[in-house]
Amino acid sequence: MQNPQAAEAGLQSIPALLARNADRFGNMPAYREKEFGIWQSWTWFDAARQIRDLALGFLVLGLRPGDHIAIIGRNRPAHYWSMVAAQMCGAVPVPLYQDAVADEMAYVLENCGARFVVCGDQEQVDKVLEVGERAPGVEHIIYTDKRGMRKYDHTRMNALAHVQAEGRAAEPRLGAELDALTAGLGYDDTCVMLYTSGTTGKPKGVVLSNRNIIETARNTAGFDKLQQREEVLAYLPMAWVGDFIFSVGQAYWAGFTVNCPEGAQTMMTDLREIGPTYFFAPPRVFEGQLTNVMIRMEDAGAIKRWLFRHYMDLARRIGPQILEGKPVGLLNRMRYAVGDLLIYGPLKNTLGYSRIRVGYTAGEAIGPEIFDFYRSLGINLKQLYGQTEASVFITQQPDGQVRSDTVGVPSPGVEVRIAENGEVFYRSPGTFVEYFRNPDSTASTKDAQGWVATGDAGFFEEATGHLRIIDRAKDVGKMADGRMFAPKYVENKLKFYPNILEAVVFGAGRDFCTAFINIDLTAVGNWAERNNIAYASYQELAGHPQVYETIREHVEAVNESVAADPMLSGCQISRFLVLHKELDPDDGEMTRTRKVRRNIIAEKYADLIAALYDGRDSVSTRTEVTYEDGRKGEIRATLRLEDARVIPTQAMHRVAAE
């Protein structure tokens, strides 16, 4: 390890990185976990010791190279150690979602043929036992939390601590064998296998190699200049590729500290105590926190409310510029500094974001107001775009080039191209090896040159080179005059308004676009209460003239923003109606994960769509509804159809001229 170059070249597996970290950062914290009310910590040296004991223990139990070992549990150091220990033995870790029911687990356990299963607690052990014969390969269960486990038949079951103790005792006997196995790990050997959640069909095991993970970790750690001193909070499911990249790949590459919360419910408290410097959260986490802040401010005293409003207005004006290091006047800088002292600092501290250097969000569209709120406070929140098959990163936003409507530039080492139909393809060192035991799916996803289809449609902005994702590729269509139609793009913009819960936009093959709007009963109901507007039912509130008025304003504001986009300006909404019932999974109008089922809605409400396009002012309809207990009922309504102002654009003129 004398020559740093040679050392780097030898780093071709996670265990190799672990050895380097134990050597180089031996006394720095690698893991922390809050337990019994105290943050317990393990240095890289401790972690290497713990992992080695566990790996030796696995060998004692008979783990063989090439075996799969499933890990089911919440984010705990012991579970991360299990993954690396498995790798040291040449086995493949397969983290599973801990909220999976036994049936889903049965499929995955059977598919990967896991011989060993590491379970977080009794609940997970019970599920694995319930799976029983459906996953005949399972030979050993190892559990972390001993609670409630005393009475179980232990002929094929061990506590993780006991496995480690046995491993420690076996060091003289098996140490050399383990070293040989670890030394034999190659760059193209499998690092981890992660199952995609599988919205359609059965989950697929995505095989990621050491090359995929380490190259991605190295490139992206460089992109954001991640240091050894970063702190992350590991709270997202271990089965999700993001957690593997952040809490294992990048953590081992850069040598930073992974903090595990006490439990899912204490996550917010633990976040505040740790104050991570590098943080990832899906948009709903940021939304939830913002809502909490706003509600609590409503309850605050008049002076505090005024201070908050005043300084948040200031932050919104100049905060993002200061964050991006753009020129801002001295007076404004001083005012911002006062705001930081009075409002922004304490607020960030309460949220646990005081120390964030790099924050990411991804997964779905984030509302621009929400995004700007955090950025105006001086939190460097950015967006990335990725998927499991890419080892997360496809594109990400560089510091200083952050906007809520793009997903950034291609990550280092990633090539992105846009197909004829607008679909985004990528090729990168992180591109997955294959779907496990599924060559057909592999072949249909990844072509011979290594290009992978994302299933999303998007385009590069010419001016900035940033990628913008519009919609799922299969939903993107053309309007009658050939302009691009991307319903989800517009729906997302509509849904950013608190009053709008859902929106469904129509327009494929038509001359203009129309929309169904679902009001958000909480937000609109609240508004009605404050304004003394009486209503007896959802239907009545939805049809209220003032509600229509408000929604029309929202629609027109959205039209304005859509019009600013030359490619998508055709998607402005000319006519809309507010639906008399909430779209509901029970009626088949949405999936259980609350994604709109376009085709079913178009079929069920064909009369309403027809009315939107034939110029009538109102339409009477009957709709079948399913109650929660399965009974069917019918509601009748007369709905108003309303026109919204559309901004004429160049694209329209051009089309008209052709």
Partner 1 sequence: MQDGYTTPDGRQIGPVLLDLKNITLRFGGVEAIKNISFDIREGEIRAIIGPNGAGKSSMLNVISGFYVPQEGEIWFKGHRRGPMKPYEVARLGLARTFQNIALFDGMSVLDNIMTGRMNMMKASLFSQALWWGKAEREETANREQVEKIIDFLEIQNIRKTPVGRLPYGLKKRVELARALAAEPRILLLDEPMAGMNVEEKEDMCRFILDVNDEFGTTIALIEHDMGVVMDLSDRVVVMDYGRKIGDGTPDEVRNNPEVISAYLGVAHE
- What is the contact surface with partner 1 in residues (CB under 8 A)? 35-38, 147-148, 150-151, 262-263, 265-266, 269
CB of 265 to partner 1, least distance (A): 4
Q: Crossing angle of helices 545-563/521-530, nearest 10°? A: 120
What are the residues whose beta carbons fall under 8 Å from the beta carbon of 403, sequence distance 6 or more? 397, 466
By beta-carbon proximity to partner 1, the closer residue of 262 and 475 is 262
By beta-carbon proximity to partner 1, the closer residue of 24 and 162 is 162
By beta-carbon proximity to partner 1, the closer residue of 126 and 399 is 126
CB of 221 to partner 1, least distance (A): 32
Residue pair 414/395 in contact by the 8 Å Cβ criterion: yes
Please choose, from the candidates 414, 365, 369, the residue with its C-alpha nearest in 3D space to the C-alpha of residue 389: 414
User: How far from 119 is each of 116, 138, 576, CA to CA, in Å?
Assistant: 10, 12, 51
CB of 34 to partner 1, least distance (A): 8
Token pair, residue 543, equals 């049809």
CB of 152 to partner 1, least distance (A): 12
SS3 476: coil
By beta-carbon proximity to partner 1, the closer residue of 145 and 215 is 145
By beta-carbon proximity to partner 1, the closer residue of 269 and 591 is 269
Q: Rounded to an integer, what distance in angstroms lies between the CA atom of residue 544 and that of residue 546?
A: 6
What are the residues whose beta carbons fall under 8 Å from the beta carbon of 536, sequence distance 6 or more? none
CB of 37 to partner 1, least distance (A): 5
By beta-carbon proximity to partner 1, the closer residue of 122 and 626 is 122
By beta-carbon proximity to partner 1, the closer residue of 617 and 628 is 628
CB of 150 to partner 1, least distance (A): 7
Q: Rounded to an integer, what distance in angstroms lies between the CA atom of residue 585 and that of residue 587?
A: 5
CB of 326 to partner 1, least distance (A): 41
By beta-carbon proximity to partner 1, the closer residue of 272 and 597 is 272
Q: How many CA atoms lie within 13 A of 46 on its CB side?
A: 13
CB of 488 to partner 1, least distance (A): 36
CB of 143 to partner 1, least distance (A): 15
CB of 268 to partner 1, least distance (A): 9
User: How far from 22 is each of 4, 28, 75, 180, 183, CA to CA, in Å?
Assistant: 15, 9, 22, 19, 16
Token pair, residue 377, equals 């406070």
CB of 145 to partner 1, least distance (A): 10
User: How far from 308 is each of 272, 297, 334, 343, 656, CA to CA, in Å?
Assistant: 21, 8, 17, 7, 49
By beta-carbon proximity to partner 1, the closer residue of 23 and 35 is 35
Read off φ and ψ for residue 407, nearest 5 degrees.
Answer: -115, 10
By beta-carbon proximity to partner 1, the closer residue of 103 and 123 is 123
Q: Rounded to an integer, what distance in angstroms lies between the CA atom of residue 658 and that of residue 566?
A: 17
CB of 628 to partner 1, least distance (A): 17
Per-residue HEC secondary structure of 509-552 comes to: CCCCEEEEEEECHHHHHHHHHHCCCCCCCHHHHHCCHHHHHHHH
Return the bridge partners of 515, or none: 505, 576
Q: In this structure, which amino acid lies at residue 556? A: E
Return the bridge partners of 417, or none: 425
By beta-carbon proximity to partner 1, the closer residue of 35 and 560 is 35
Read off φ and ψ for residue 639, nearest 5 degrees.
Answer: -105, 140
Q: Rounded to an integer, what distance in angstroms lies between the CA atom of residue 137 and that of residue 128?
A: 12
By beta-carbon proximity to partner 1, the closer residue of 36 and 658 is 36
Long-range contacts of 339-343 (CB under 8 A, 24+ apart): 339/311, 339/314, 339/315, 340/378, 342/307, 342/311, 343/307, 343/308, 343/311, 343/312, 343/315
The vertex-394 CA angle with 393 and 400, nearest 5°, equals 85
Q: Which H/E stretch holds residue 173? A: helix 171-183
Q: How far is CA 342 from the centre of its chain?
A: 32
User: How far from 209 is each of 54, 390, 391, 656, CA to CA, in Å?
Assistant: 22, 11, 10, 53
Q: Rounded to an integer, what distance in angstroms lies between the CA atom of residue 570 and that of residue 584?
A: 29
By beta-carbon proximity to partner 1, the closer residue of 269 and 537 is 269
Q: How many CA atoms lie within 13 A of 429 on its CB side?
A: 16
By beta-carbon proximity to partner 1, the closer residue of 178 and 260 is 260
Q: Rounded to an integer, what distance in angstroms lies between the CA atom of residue 486 and that of residue 32?
A: 45
SS3 616: coil
Token pair, residue 550, equals 């408000």
CB of 31 to partner 1, least distance (A): 18
